[in-house]
Copies of this chain bind each other. A is one copy, B any other.
Amino acid sequence: MRILLVGAGGVGDAIAKIAARRSFYDTIVVSDYDLGRAERTVEWLEARGQARDRFIAAQVDASDPDSVASLALEHAITHVMNAVEPKFVPTVFAGALAAGADYIDMAMSLSEPHPTDPYTETGVKLGDDQFAQAPDWETAGRLALVGMGVEPGLSDVFARYAADHLFESIDELGVRDGANLVVRDDLGNEIFAPSFSIWTTIEECLNPPVIWERDRGWYTTEPFSDPEVFDFPDGIGPVECVNVEHEEVLLMPRWIDADKATFKYGLGNEFIGILKTLHQLGLDKTDPLTVRSANGPVEVAPRDVVAAGLPDPASIGPRMTGKTCAGLYVTGTAPDGSPRAVYLYHVADNEWTMAEYESQCVVWQTALNPVIALELLASGTWTGRGVLGPEAFDAQPFLDLMAKPLADGGYGQQWGLDERG
């Protein structure tokens, strides 16, 4: 296996660091628009003796399929691992196919709201552009494994596991994500510093949330709908969660039999209030405004100004404490006919991810899962062709490899199963 990693930002960097401790591949080309960023990742591994001549830094333009394809061909790449912003999904996806490589990403092609009824009907859905190209991938005999981060990704693996091993029939597949992360300034005061790109967070939180029901199919609601306090494990505790547009709702119903699929994000009241205010003042907008400046009027997008004023999420790890939990709450009927409710989850503790990987926990947790998936593909445990989600594959070997101790060749990452009434 020869991997082209496209993007050496927070998640790409963590993918390289996690993969560096494994031996299932021959080469990883770490590429970025900013070559220096790719080089820093490789140098970090070399300085710790983990690169072992398997890592190469390269420059790439993720917005250009030809740039991706030519870099892949140059290095005889078998798998393109996409770790850039979702807006570049179409070009990296096309570049991989053009190079005859398999493809993995952690977010799917973007949605567009319904032109007249954005808060009841779907328009272009997340991943629609990719699924429309499934015949091309099938014909080429290549695999595009889409949505293979933590959410989407591990959450979809949990869905498949629940359907195969825990339930006779499923009422709802409900992804529930929550954290108790706190970031402090040098004086120890708590500051507002989102642990994930505010640009992407605004995008997913202010888009109309999508829900799937067996009788209705996919439909949308107003942002922040159906607030629910969900009790997260491992000391995180209760967090207010609301509907947010997310890939799992588009993926799970394609492969798993259930009455309903939802995604609720534990944004908390404070963050929901902030996002609502940004929207109310038009500060979420991506169209440029004309603004006065010392150098005369300039054109800037308000959302870019919001992002520029906040700390870089990749930089806040050392000032952050707490844990993040990704998981799936499944309700339905157990094989014995009794009602069952189960929360399947994985928790990442920032203190541990920083100490082990110098990577903050939200970014590290996202990066873990595609590395496990690549290892299952390398060993032939997972095989497939066409455009497939994580739930199209057997969940058991994934969860086994994830939980198996390091000493036994696993990843040593426990996942949890809470029986809840």
Tell me the A residues contacting B by CB distance below 8 Å: 192, 273-274, 277-278, 280-283, 285, 288-295, 298-302, 304-306, 308-310
> What secondary structure prevails in chain A residues at the interface with B?
mixed
Query: For residue A288, which residues in chain B have a CB less than 8 angstroms away from its CB?
Result: 293-294
A299 touches B308 (CB 8 A): no
B308 touches A292 (CB 8 A): yes
A292 touches B304 (CB 8 A): yes
Query: For residue A306, which residues in chain B have a CB less than 8 angstroms away from its CB?
Result: 281, 283
A273-B277, A281-B274 known; A309 and B302 CB under 8 Å? Answer: yes
A302 touches B305 (CB 8 A): yes
Residue from B273, B280, B292, B299 within 8 A of A293 (CB atoms)? B299
A289 touches B274 (CB 8 A): no
- Bound together, the chains give a CA A308 to CA B295 distance in angstroms of 16
A-B contact pairs, 10 of them (CB 8 A): A192-B280, A273-B277, A274-B277, A277-B277, A278-B281, A281-B310, A283-B283, A295-B299, A298-B299, A298-B300
Number of chain copies forming the complex: 2
A281-B192, A308-B289 known; A300 and B302 CB under 8 Å? Answer: no
- Bound together, the chains give a CA A300 to CA B309 distance in angstroms of 11
Given A273-B277, A278-B281, A285-B309, 19 more A-B residue pairs with CB atoms under 8 Å apart are A192-B280, A192-B281, A273-B273, A274-B280, A274-B281, A281-B309, A281-B310, A283-B305, A283-B306, A288-B293, A288-B294, A289-B309, A291-B300, A292-B308, A293-B298, A293-B304, A295-B299, A298-B298, A300-B300
- Whole-angstrom distance from the CB of A244 to the nearest CB of chain B? 19
- Bound together, the chains give a CA A221 to CA B289 distance in angstroms of 35
- Bound together, the chains give a CA A192 to CA B296 distance in angstroms of 27
Query: For residue A273, which residues in chain B have a CB less than 8 angstroms away from its CB?
Result: 273, 277
- Bound together, the chains give a CA A289 to CA B302 distance in angstroms of 12
The closest CB in chain B to the CB of A291 belongs to B308
- Bound together, the chains give a CA A300 to CA B288 distance in angstroms of 13
The closest CB in chain B to the CB of A309 belongs to B282
- Bound together, the chains give a CA A295 to CA B306 distance in angstroms of 18
- Bound together, the chains give a CA A295 to CA B296 distance in angstroms of 14
- Whole-angstrom distance from the CB of A55 to the nearest CB of chain B? 29
